[in-house]
A = this chain, B = another copy of it.
C-alpha cells in the first residue's frame, strides 16, 4: 500500500469523475471529455493516457485488458474504492482559488483602440458563440431534466442537471450582456 498520493491533479479528478459514472477505455474518456464534461473541462488523449498510468500507480483506478482494435492491448479502466474515497475527499475539500483566463473579455478591454464597426463585429461573434452554447446546453438539459433519477441527489444525472443549469444561466447572461453592448455601440 503506497503512502496515499494526496489529492490527484485537476485532470486526475476529472477522469475519476468520468470513470465513477462509467468504466471506459482511454480513447472513450477522450471522447467523453468533449461533451458534456467538455463544457467546463477539456483534455486530449496525449494528456489522458499518462494521467491514467499515474492514477493506476496511486491505486485510484484499475484496468482490465479487453479485446479490441489496435496495435496495443485495449484497457478498460474503473475507479477503485480508494479512488472513490479520493474523489469524495476532493469534492468535499475547500475550493481552490482559480486564476481567470478569459480571452474574449481581454479583447473587449482593448476595444477602445478600434473603430466602432470593428467593435460591433467582435461583439456579434461573441454573441453567436454564447447563443450556440446556450442551445447545446438547453438541448442536453431537456433530455435528462425530466427523468426520475435526475431527482435523486445520489445519482449522476442529478449533478448533470446542476451543471447544465449553471452553464445555461451563465451563457444567457453573456448573451444579454452582448445585446447591452450592441446598444452602447450603435
Q: Does A17 contact B (CB under 8 A)?
A: yes
Closest to A111 in B: B159
Q: Does A141 contact B (CB under 8 A)?
A: no
Contact with B along A9-43 (1 / 0, CB 8 A): 01001101100100000000000000001111110
- Give the interface centre of A39, A119, A173 by most chain B CB atoms within 10 Å: A173
Count of chain copies: 2
Q: Does A131 contact B (CB under 8 A)?
A: no
Contact with B along A65-108 (1 / 0, CB 8 A): 00000000000000000001001101110111011111111111
Cα separation A114 to B92 with both chains bound (whole Å): 7
Query: CB within 8 Å of B: which of A168-185?
Result: 169-170, 172-174, 176-177, 180-181, 184-185
Residues of B within 8 A of A160 (CB): 109
Contact A113 B181 (CB under 8 A): no
Cα separation A99 to B165 with both chains bound (whole Å): 19
Contact B98 A113 (CB under 8 A): no
With A41-B106, A95-B104, A105-B163 known, 15 other A-B pairs at CB within 8 A are A20-B110, A39-B105, A91-B111, A91-B113, A95-B126, A98-B104, A105-B167, A109-B160, A109-B163, A112-B157, A169-B176, A169-B177, A170-B174, A170-B177, A172-B173
* A-B contacts, 5 listed (Cβ < 8 Å): A17-B109, A88-B114, A95-B104, A170-B170, A170-B177
When A and B form their complex, which 8 residue pairs have the shortest distance between CB atoms, in order from nearest? A173-B173, A40-B105, A17-B110, A40-B102, A112-B159, A92-B118, A42-B99, A169-B173
